Structure 1
Amino acid sequence: MNRPKDEGLNGNEKIEQAVYALQQEATQEQLAHTLTVIRRRMKEHGQFVVAVEPSLGSEQMQLRTIRTADGASWWYAFTSFEEELKGAEPVQSTFLVDMDKLFDAALAVPEISGIILNPWNRTIQLDKTLIRITKGS
């Protein structure tokens, strides 16, 4: 299958590989490596796929959220369209967004706990602390 890829998603397979390795061996070193891989992709102007839904009574779109067992709300994003299609939900409206901008937005929205990357498969929960570490700020 030689499907054309969106430029901004090229290289995101490195993130998937790092997250897979982290799932196999959940150590501080592997977490640091995974965050470094995400940071590199961010600095290369990498993008994520995000699901959006229309905001009632507004022209704006809102990022879709997932509520975790503890009641926290998280945005979710995907490293590729293939990852998005692994979910149980029907295909949704999606957009590409710069990683850097998504991280900044997540840090600025108090009711969001962070971003869950690839919630259906090679998953990592980036809370605000991990996002700040990834951004290097």
Structure 2
Amino acid sequence: MDTKKYEDQIPVDEGLQGNETIEEAILVLQQEPTEEMLAHTLTVIRRRARANGQFIVAVIPPAGAESSLQIQAIQTEDERYWWMAFTSFDEEIKGGETVMSTFMADISHLFEAALMTDDIEGIILNPWNRALMLDKSLLQLILAGK
């Protein structure tokens, strides 16, 4: 029996299985930034949402008994705030400088929550590497086709 084969494999959470298709679509979109490739990428994300896919979301732990868990936001150069989400643990650790608290979130529920949150612009998928900024209009497009 070949045990090396098993040692090299990092287990992937069931909710993240299939998210590599999103990473591949984003890579192609980065190489060929056309409306057709954007439409394709949004379709791939919609399919993962329909399949009950999940993202990894960075959170800010509660500060005290009265506070609640909050999704961590990052500020872009234009001073707007975005939530961060990751398609895989590999994508999450590429930011490397800081350790983040994370949890798994259903893609559809995360998008719906973002649409209802006034002080954010949307969600940045994989902000460290294969990044895709999904503003609220793109989130609505993805959910409308669901």
Which amino acid in 2 is paired with 1:121?
A: N
Residue 85 (1) aligns with residue 96 (2)? no
Question: d(CA) in 2 for partners of 1:9 and 1:54?
Answer: 22
Q: Does 1:32 align with 2:53?
A: no
- 1:102 corresponds to which letter in structure 2? L
What's the counterpart of residue 68 of structure 1?
A: 76
TM-score scaled by length of structure 2: 0.90
Aligned to 1:16: 23
Alignment TM-score, normalising by the size of structure 1: 0.96
How many residues are paired up? 137
Q: Once the two structures are aligned, what percentage of the paired residues are identical?
A: 55
| Structure 1 or 2: more strand by fraction | 1
Whole-angstrom CA distance in 1 between matches of 2:14 and 2:62? 29
TM-superposed CA distance for 1:4, in Å, is 1.4
SS for the counterpart of 1:94 is strand
* Aligned mates of 1:96, 1:72 — CA distance in 2: 24
Q: How is 1:49-128 mapped onto 2 (pairs within 5 angstroms)?
A: 49-57=56-64, 58-128=66-136
Higher-Rg member (1/2):
2
Q: Helix, strand or coil: the match of 1:70?
A: coil
Alignment RMSD, CA only? 1.1
Letter in 1 for 2:57: V
Deviation for aligned residue 1:60: 1.1
**3-state SS of 1:77 partner:** strand
